[in-house]
C-alpha cells in the first residue's frame, strides 16, 4: 500500500514542480524521510520499553501512520495545495514512518520460528486495522473539511 501512495504522490508532485525545482523536492523528501525514520525508531523503542515485543511496536506505528495518511491525503485532496506538505510530510515523513517491509520481515520471523497462528494474526491484523485506520482518517478529514 505504501508503494501505491508513494508512486501516485511522487508522480503528481513531479508534475506540479518545474524542472528547476527537482533539487528542492528531493531535499524535502529526504529531510521528511529522515525525520520519519527517526520518529519511527523513537516510537518503536518507547513502546518496546514498556515490555511489548517488536510485532506490537510495528503494529502501533503502522496503524498510526495509516490513520494519519488517510487524514492528510484526504485533506490535501479536499482543500490544501501545499507542495511542501505533499513532498516533506506525506512522501518523505509518512513513507519512512510506515513501511510494509517491516511487517513482512516480522511476520516471516514468526513463521520461521513455527509461530504460524501469531504470524497469520500479525499480517492480517496489520492489513485489516491499517485499512480501518486509513478509512477513519479519511472520514474524519471529510467531516472536518
Residue 15 lies in a domain: no
How many structural domains comprise the chain? Answer: 1
Q: Are 83 and 13 a contacting pair, CB within 8 Å?
A: yes
Residue 83 lies in a domain: yes
* pTM strictly above 0.95: no
CA distances from 37 to 23, 25, 60, 78, 130 (A): 21, 18, 15, 28, 19
Residue 2: pLDDT band by 50, 70, 90 thresholds?
low
CA distances from 46 to 11, 34, 51, 89, 134 (A): 35, 18, 9, 22, 23
Q: What is the pLDDT of residue 77?
A: 82
Q: Which domain holds residue 45?
A: 2-9+21-144
Q: What is the full DSSP assignment across 89-108?
A: IIIIIIHHHS-HHHHHHHHH
For residues 117 and 16, what is the distance between their CA atoms, to the nearest angstrom?
46
Q: What is the pLDDT of residues 14-52, one digit of tens each?
A: 555 555 578 888 999 999 999 999 999 999 999 999 999
Residue 31 lies in a domain: yes
Residue 16 lies in a domain: no
Residue 60: pLDDT band by 50, 70, 90 thresholds?
very high
* Secondary structure letter of residue 88 according to DSSP: I
Mean pLDDT of the chain: 87
Q: Is 34 helix (H, G, I), strand (E, B) or coil?
A: helix
Q: Is 114 helix (H, G, I), strand (E, B) or coil?
A: coil
Amino acid at each position: 500500500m505504501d508503494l501505491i501512495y508513494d508512486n501516485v504522490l511522487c508522480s503528481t508532485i513531479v508534475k506540479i514542480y518545474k524542472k528547476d525545482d527537482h533539487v528542492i523536492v528531493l531535499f524535502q523528501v529526504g529531510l521528511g524521510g529522515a525525520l520519519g525514520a527517526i520518529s519511527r525508531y523513537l516510537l518503536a523503542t518507547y513502546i518496546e520499553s514498556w515490555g511489548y515485543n517488536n510485532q506490537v511496536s510495528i503494529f502501533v506505528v503502522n496503524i498510526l501512520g495509516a490513520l494519519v495518511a488517510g487524514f492528510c491525503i484526504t485533506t490535501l485532496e479536499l482543500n490544501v495545495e501545499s507542495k511542501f506538505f505533499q513532498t516533506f510530510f506525506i512522501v518523505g515523513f509518512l513513507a519512512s514512518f510506515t513501511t510494509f517491509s517491516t511487517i513482512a520481515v516480522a511476520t516471516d520471523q514468526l513463521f520461521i520460528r513455527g509461530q504460524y497462528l501469531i504470524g497469520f494474526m500479525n499480517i492480517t491484523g496489520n492489513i485489516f486495522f491499517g485499512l480501518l485506520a486509513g478509512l477513519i482518517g479519511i472520514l474524519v478529514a471529510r467531516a472536518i473539511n
